[in-house]
């Protein structure tokens, strides 16, 4: 994973352990003067460094590390968060987890991050599979995490574990209640079905982990390109993107969709709309009333269909209460999260339409 400019500068300062200037940092890290100046300005605001009072301003200003500064989320030299590593190791020490999906749930973290950290731990032999569960095999210094990363390590561990299981002569099979039975006393059809399901599910789980890993890699490459493009103009990348190959055959779409909720103002808006409907009872359009009433109905999960609420704003009704209600709906909108969607397309010719390469990334 590419180390950010901020972490490159910080790693250099921690290693250098002497007064430094932007010019020195630039020459040692390969970053431009502008990149280093922006990072040093941010570090100064955070209290990580301070400028010596007698030094001049500009790129030759002399800085020293602020020894009283304590980083809230420290990382090792390979850009792995030490707090997150400790949390993952604690879970592995006390629990029984056989997949990244389970670890994702207990750590409340993105699956790409969980997969990356778990692969790093397994690559240095600190974590491995024991009877199908990820367990700590030996204690190592966390500064080593990331020093060696085998991107296929999780798949290899699964393949090895499956091979060991298949070579056991006295295979024990558990039923749904956890009772154990020697495979040789069961109906052969039961054993065949059991082995088939476990074998195929094992491949499906490994394929899922592979897709999750590749999704992470592709997303990081795309984000890096967009960030570097914006950085050329002193900005940070925000928004959507559409990237097309030079020959026009391939296209990548990046979309950031916001998840919205409504706050308590929505109920006030509903009351004002109800007042409008009462006043319009004699001459109102019955169909419009039905549309409005349906918009505020909840589904089986007790949730309002947000698109129906937002669609009410398209009606050009010149009524004071109605306009106030629409204003309240606008104010009630709360953006609770943003999710990134990446889609890939290809086409056979210049004038042909793009066809989606279906990967269902949004579900992973």
The span from the CA of 343 to the CA of 284, in Å, is 45
**pTM here?**
0.41
Which structural domains are found in the chain, ordered by start?
5-65 (1.10.10.10), 82-213 (no CATH), 241-364 (no CATH)
Kindly give the residue spans of alpha helices, DSSP state H, lying in 186-285: 188-231, 265-279
The span from the CA of 155 to the CA of 167, in Å, is 19
Closest alpha carbon to 316 in 345, 288, 278:
288
The span from the CA of 99 to the CA of 158, in Å, is 10
Q: What average pLDDT score do residues 311-331 get?
A: 81
Give the three-class secondary structure for 80. coil
**8-12, 41-45, 131-135 — most confident range:** 131-135
The residues pairing with 49 across neighbouring beta strands, listed in sequence order, are 65
Q: What tokens does 286 get?
A: 């019955």
pLDDT per position as a tens digit, 71-117: 556 777 788 888 899 999 999 998 889 889 899 989 988 888 999 99
Local confidence band at 288 (pLDDT 50, 70, 90 cut-offs): low
Number of helices (H) and strands (E) in the chain: give both, helices first: 12, 10
Q: How many Cβ atoms from other residues are within 10 Å of residue 224's Cβ?
A: 14
Q: What tokens does 82 get?
A: 């030490």
227 neighbors 237 (Cβ within 8 angstroms):
yes
* Nearby residues of 181 by Cβ (< 8 Å), 6 or more positions away: 172, 173, 174, 175
334 neighbors 261 (Cβ within 8 angstroms):
yes
pLDDT per position as a tens digit, 171-213: 788 888 888 888 888 888 998 999 899 888 888 888 888 888 8
pLDDT per position as a tens digit, 15-52: 777 788 888 888 888 888 888 888 888 888 877 888 87
Give the three-class secondary structure for 343. strand
Q: How many Cβ atoms from other residues are within 10 Å of residue 212's Cβ?
A: 21
What are phi and psi for residue 132, nearest 5 degrees? 80, 5
């Amino acid at each position: 994973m590419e180390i950010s400019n901020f972490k490159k500068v910080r790693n250099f300062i921690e290693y250098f352990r002497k007064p430094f200037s932007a010019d020195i940092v630039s020459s040692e890290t390969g970053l431009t003067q502008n990149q280093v100046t922006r990072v040093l300005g941010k570090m100064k605001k955070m209290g990580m460094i301070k400028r010596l009072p007698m030094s001049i301003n500009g790129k030759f200003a002399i800085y020293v590390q602020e020894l009283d500064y304590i980083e809230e989320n420290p990382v090792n030299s390979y850009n792995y968060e030490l707090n997150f590593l400790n949390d993952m190791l604690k879970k592995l020490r006390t629990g029984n987890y056989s997949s990244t999906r389970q670890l994702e749930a207990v750590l409340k973290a993105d699956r790409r991050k969980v997969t990356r950290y778990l692969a790093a731990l397994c690559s240095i032999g600190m974590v491995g599979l024991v009877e199908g569960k990820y367990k700590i095999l030996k204690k190592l210094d966390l500064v080593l995490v990331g020093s060696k990363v085998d991107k296929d390590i999780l798949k290899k561990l699964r393949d090895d574990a499956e091979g060991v299981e298949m070579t056991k002569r006295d295979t024990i099979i558990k039923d749904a209640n956890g009772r154990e039975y020697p495979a040789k006393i069961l109906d052969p059809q039961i054993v065949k079905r059991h082995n088939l399901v476990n074998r195929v599910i094992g491949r499906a789980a490994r394929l899922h982990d592979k897709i999750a890993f590749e999704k992470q890699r592709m997303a990081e490459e795309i984000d890096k390109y967009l960030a570097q493009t914006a950085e050329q103009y002193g900005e940070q990348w925000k928004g959507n993107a559409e990237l097309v190959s030079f020959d026009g055959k391939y296209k990548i779409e990046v979309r950031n969709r916001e998840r919205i909720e409504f706050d308590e103002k929505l109920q006030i808006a509903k009351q004002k709309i109800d007042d409008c409907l009462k006043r319009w009872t004699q001459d109102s359009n019955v169909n419009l009333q039905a549309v409005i009433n349906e918009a505020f109905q909840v589904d089986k999960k007790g949730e309002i269909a947000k698109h129906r609420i937002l669609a009410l704003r398209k009606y050009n009704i010149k009524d004071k209460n109605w306009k106030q209600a629409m204003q309240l709906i606008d104010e009630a909108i709360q953006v609770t999260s943003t999710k990134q969607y990446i889609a890939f397309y290809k086409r056979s010719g210049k004038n042909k339409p793009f066809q989606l390469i279906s990967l269902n990334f949004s579900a992973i």
